[in-house]
Amino acid sequence: MTDTPTDPGRRHWLRVGAGAAALTALPGVFAADPAPRTTVARVRSGRIGGSIEQGVHVFRGIPYGADTTLRRWQPALRETAWRGVRDAFEYGPSAPQRGSEGPGSEDCLRLNVWTPALRDGAKRPVLVYIHGGGFNTGSGSDPLYDGGALCRSGDVVVVTVNHRLNAFGYLHLRDLGDGSFAHAGNVGQLDLVQALEWVKTHAAEFGGDSANVTVFGQSGGGAKIATLMAMPAARGLFHRAWTMSGQQVTAAGPRAATQRAQIYLDALGLQPAEIVRLRTLPMQALLDAQTVRDPSRVEESALYFGPVVDTVNLPRHPFWPDAPPQSADIPMVIGNTRDETRAFLGNDPHNFTMHWDDLPANLRTQQFVDLDPAVVVAEYRRLYPDYTPSEVFFAATTAGRSWRGAVEELEVRAAQGTNTWAYQLDWYPRTEEGARMRAFHTLDIPLVFGNTGVTGAKTGDTVEARAVAETMRDALLAFVRSGDPNHAGMPIWAPYSMAARETMVFDAAARLENDPRGGERMLYQQAPFIQRGTQ
């Protein structure tokens, strides 16, 4: 809200603001005395009032850019300044999207901050989490992303962020419209650049170090990070990168992206000459049109939106033909879970009762690599003679989809230097549901955040789950401090090399393995890799 002299919210902050602001540099005061539960910070556009939660200063829904409603497919403007103290107790709206977090709002450029203290000169590492959901859905407001536990255990600053998604963030209109659409295919990424610039500006206010910023993200969040690593505008805004089950080896070329934009216009019933009407159509109409089928995909799937090699904002593919030179000095961790696709394909009971005769047809549409299913099945039966057809299905789809991109990124980073580490999450909760889903896509999120007890965490909050979480969380915290994930609670984690392909396997007891699943890796490297949706 923007406060006025008669606003009761402003009267509240006038009463507590001065005292809270004086105390915010002393987190121990709040830990010892539960009475003051408010805190005030000053950002470039005004003062914000947040809360104290178990000794952590929390500010939610902070605007880092203006409402994008009147700036569709253009870089966002700076947020509008306000008078008084703006409430920062609640998360801001998610970006426009379909699904459980939709429909959202075009006034979505918000971020959230957790910090142990304000303005104390401590220069804490800053972690900026970029959410998953591909490039289509999600927000930084999921309870699993709550940064409080990381703050308390690691004395760090944690930030989560919302940005434009799907057609609102990645519809490539440059070659169909006038110059005002020049950046349209990458404005979602430019929002993230703007958020990182905001973090750099305000790190000291929140007790952080602007020269030590780590971006970390899962799934689509990891893909966005990989893309940022090749964007000139992001150079110098972050200093370490930790990605979880999220890769972006190639981006969409301008031809393919323009073809998708034309399909999208057709779904809206618009001719290219009418492209300017996109700026005034109802938000819901723009969301509904995104359900049109993507012609590049074998299975029935909605239209793909993602970053575009537009020669300006993204001048090259993120990790092809090599790793981006501008990010060569940025230490990076690239991780995946052992059973990724059980998250996507494990809801179909048929996939757990599959027969050998069913397997080739199912692989043809779900492995996302153009490799003869008969060759795949034969090799898996040789590598793992005890596997059932369903186990082959889940293993092969995992290797052919997300993990394949991780291998591509690891190889080109290893060729570039010795500052990249690989991990694989094998651990899963030993419950009936755990045995069914195993180490599925997203299972590592509550582990690195230390949020195994949070509602929605599928890890469970057992002693074993907390021990695995501690090992992974401490690796992340060591990494953000030194650029090296090693710590005393696990074996020595060697950087990834082409000679040994060293990989930390996180299980009940962590272990370092050389080239785990090497047979699967070699099988799928028989086919060239192109990021799905980018051709």
Positions annotated as catalytic residues are 219, 340, 441
In 3-state terms the chain splits into helix, strand, coil percentages (rounded to 5) of 40, 15, 45
Distances (CA, A) of 310 to 306, 307, 327, 332, 431: 12, 9, 19, 25, 48
Residues 6+ apart with CB under 8 A from 410: 334, 420, 422, 496, 501
Burial class (CB in 10 A: 0-12, 13-18, 19+), 483: middle
Tokens of 255: 């031809």
Distances (CA, A) of 49 to 39, 85, 157: 6, 6, 17
Please say whether the beta carbons of 228 and 238 come within 8 A: yes
Residues 6+ apart with CB under 8 A from 388: 354
How many Å apart are CA 520 and CA 284, to the nearest integer? Answer: 43
Please say whether the beta carbons of 498 and 418 come within 8 A: no
Angle at CA 46, nearest 5°, toward 41 and 48? 40
Residues 6+ apart with CB under 8 A from 185: 170, 171, 172, 173, 174, 252, 254, 257, 307, 308, 310
DSSP character at residue 314 = S
Tokens of 340: 């990724």
How many Å apart are CA 184 and CA 265, to the nearest integer? Answer: 14
- Please, what sign has the CA dihedral across residues 101, 216, 247, 78? positive
Tokens of 154: 């690691």
How many Å apart are CA 310 and CA 233, to the nearest integer? Answer: 13
Residues 6+ apart with CB under 8 A from 183: 73, 74, 75, 174, 190, 310, 312, 313
Please say whether the beta carbons of 198 and 126 come within 8 A: no
Identify the three-state secondary structure at position 425.
strand
Identify the three-state secondary structure at position 516.
coil
How many Å apart are CA 316 and CA 493, to the nearest integer? Answer: 31
Listing DSSP states for 178-227 in one string gives -GGGTTGGGHHHHHHHHHHHHHHHHTGGGTEEEEEEEEEEETHHHHHHHH
Bin 135: left if φ > 0, else alpha if -120 < ψ < 50, else beta. alpha
